[in-house]
Structure 1
Amino acid sequence: MESRFFIAPEQLEAFEAAARTGSFSAAARALGKAQSTISGLIGNLEIDTGLTLFDRAGREPKLTAQGRALLNDVRSLLNSYSRFEAKSRSLNAGLEESLTLAVDESAIELTQLVEALERFYQNYPTVAVSLLHASGDSASRLVREGKADIGIVLSQSDYPEDFDFRGVGNCSFVLVAGATHPLTTLAQVSIQDLHNHLHLRISASSDPTSLPENDLSDRIWYLESYSLFMSMLTAGLGWAFTPLHIARPHVERGAIKVLNTDFQLTPYPYCTDLIWSRRKTLGPAGQNMIDEVSRILSQQATEPA
């Protein structure tokens, strides 16, 4: 039967510190232990593994070929052990193991979302995060069905009674068409002009009427993907109401143009809300995620134009 041995984390820690610092005495100082303790831990590790990890012939011990071969694996094990300890402490403290966010790209600039996620990760590195694409009102549906913990959405006039929400910012929309589209040749665009051309809309497949827009054309195509949506616009296929933060880079490079109208647009900007269900209590990580997204969007709202 194959023999097995038990390697204590302290042995691996002593070995890695000695390899990193270049001596047993420096490792002892780095770990706050006596040099004799470090020597004993490494000696026991060599006995347990049956390997000579350090050559002690010189003034300072040097890693052997066997020691060098094991060093990266030891560091990987120590990192895993540290993550295990941190996650165990977090779970004991009531911290969520994971969070799922349903994100409507219309409601938040992705660079802002990434900034909030970076700050969240600094606070809760052990919490796994899943991001779901959720156009239209699909974010609300995902939260209602328990498939998402938090939704980032364009504000709705009415939420289910068991929802909580927080208004965190706003999002401006503009009327645009591709630079080669016939509408861009008009000094002012009328409602009838829009009726004569294809209208592109972002919407969840489950509800193509979910966006808060008036139907200004008899010809409407519904898409879920903003990447395909913008590709179609820049190709000159259709016009659309588009979030300014998504349209801006395409406008700046001249691929699409903002249209002037001779009528009053429906109420813009829209508000951005964070939503979650009262049926599922958010733990400290969920609360922090809400706070970080709120902080980023509120900072943006107060910056001078």
Structure 2
Amino acid sequence: MAFDLDNLRVFLAAIDHGSFSAAARALGRVPSAVSMTIAHLEAELDLPLFDRAGREPVPTPQALALVPQARRLAEQFGQLNRHALSMTQGLEPSLVIAVAPELVAATPWSDALTTLSTEFPLLEIEVLTAPQADALAMLKSGRAQLALVFERQGLDPSEQFQEVARETLVAVVAASHPMLAREPSALRDEHLIAERQILVAGRDACDVDKRISVSRVQWRTDSPVAALRMVSAGLGWAWLPSGFVRAALASGELAQIPAGNFTTALQLYVDVVWTQARPLGLAARRFVELLNGRSGCSGAIASDRAAPAVSAAAFSAFSDNAPDLASRSAAPPRAGKRRSSAASG
């Protein structure tokens, strides 16, 4: 075998420093050892790598042709060593992150991945999109180490989490929908309840978030993209993240529903969640730290969480068969929610 890690380093040092003696000083060796290593490499390759006719050895065209690949190999060796060292410090072999699909375009989580790719270039990362309930189920099954989801209605003692962002859900409808023919002040909760709602929810039929379940007639999908298409087609209205529908609102394809007696905007926190049963590895902790660094939530505590911006009085006249939405605004914030840190996980 011609090239190995040692003679590769010597070869590149001779190229970079312009002489065997300078390469020897850089490597902490004697010049004769560098000269001998290069001579043995030339013999094994049966290639002249340096022209020794002058005062200092000059790289041959063959040597210069090898340099780009030699540098790539040296960098790969360095990455391998750094990766192995990181693993001894707790770096996991791979990182799986489940993301609620509504947050894929709305939350800048990919910036954190860019930093991770630089700090841990050999780490394998998998990003899965799944409805919120399914993403949380992936945590409990061990399929994913982290889930990026909207805040839940209650605390699960098996979970730890960190608030990393806020997102506003807005009630939207196709700009051509008959609902918009009414004067904004005349559009009331009973009209919204009577219209078909396109609901983004998990695959379990029992999985319904009462904070956003409004209409008596609902069509469900596990994809916000599908929901957006159905709303654009005039099939119903939906709560969707403001960042997700910004372009459609700006183009006039969709309109935010005006209302006379309630607010059609609901601000929720975005959490990165993990399970207490599986402590986070080095990369997962770093991902949480990076997300929290981008957050506008620093310093917030659980009791500061405001109730959803929907008037409870607006829904007080619901019939017995209507969804119980008064509870979503009357419910207190998540009491005692901890400001978990990656270090604690």
TM-score (norm 2): 0.74
Please list, as runs of the form range in 1=range in 2, the aligned pairs for 1:182-193 lying within 5 A after superposition.
182-188=178-184, 189-193=187-191
Percent of paired sites with the same residue:
27
Task: Quote the residue 2:129 is aligned against.
Answer: 133
CA shift at 1:202, angstroms? Answer: 1.8
CA shift at 1:290, angstroms? Answer: 1.6
CA shift at 1:109, angstroms? Answer: 5.5
- Structure 1 residue corresponding to 2:53, chosen from 54, 57, 69: 57
- Structure 2 residue corresponding to 1:194, chosen from 189, 192, 195: 192
Residue 154 in structure 1 maps to residue 150 in structure 2: yes
Question: In structure 2, how many angstroms separate the alpha carbons of the residues matched to 1:196 and 1:62?
Answer: 84
Specify the code of the residue in structure 2 equivalent to 1:100. V
SS in 1 for 2:108: helix
CA shift at 1:6, angstroms? Answer: 5.8
Residue 287 in structure 1 maps to residue 278 in structure 2: no
Change in 2 beyond 3 A, CA 1:83/1:185:
same
Change in 2 beyond 3 A, CA 1:31/1:246:
farther
Task: Quote the residue 2:294 is aligned against.
Answer: 296
Question: In structure 2, how many angstroms separate the alpha carbons of the residues matched to 1:24 and 1:236?
Answer: 76
Please list, as runs of the form range in 1=range in 2, the aligned pairs for 1:56-205 lying within 5 A after superposition.
56-58=52-54, 60-107=56-103, 110=106, 112-188=108-184, 189-195=187-193, 197-205=195-203
Question: In structure 2, how many angstroms separate the alpha carbons of the residues matched to 1:40 and 1:94?
Answer: 41
Question: In structure 2, how many angstroms separate the alpha carbons of the residues matched to 1:107 and 1:300?
Answer: 20
Change in 2 beyond 3 A, CA 1:53/1:186:
farther
SS in 2 for 1:173: strand
Question: In structure 2, how many angstroms separate the alpha carbons of the residues matched to 1:224 and 1:279?
Answer: 28
TM-score (norm 1): 0.82
CA RMSD of aligned residues (A): 3.1
CA shift at 1:60, angstroms? Answer: 5.0
Q: Is the 8 A contact 1:137 1:210 kept in 2?
A: no
**Unaligned regions of 5+ residues in structure 1, if any?**
none
Question: In structure 2, how many angstroms separate the alpha carbons of the residues matched to 1:28 and 1:299?
Answer: 54
Change in 2 beyond 3 A, CA 1:6/1:69:
closer
Question: In structure 2, how many angstroms separate the alpha carbons of the residues matched to 1:30 and 1:178?
Answer: 68
Question: In structure 2, how many angstroms separate the alpha carbons of the residues matched to 1:80 and 1:64?
Answer: 25
Change in 2 beyond 3 A, CA 1:110/1:265:
closer
Provide the aligned length of Structure 1 versus Structure 2: 298
**Unaligned regions of 5+ residues in structure 2, if any?**
301-345
Higher mean alpha-carbon deviation, 92-101 vs 181-190, is at: 181-190
Q: Is the 8 A contact 1:7 1:45 kept in 2?
A: yes
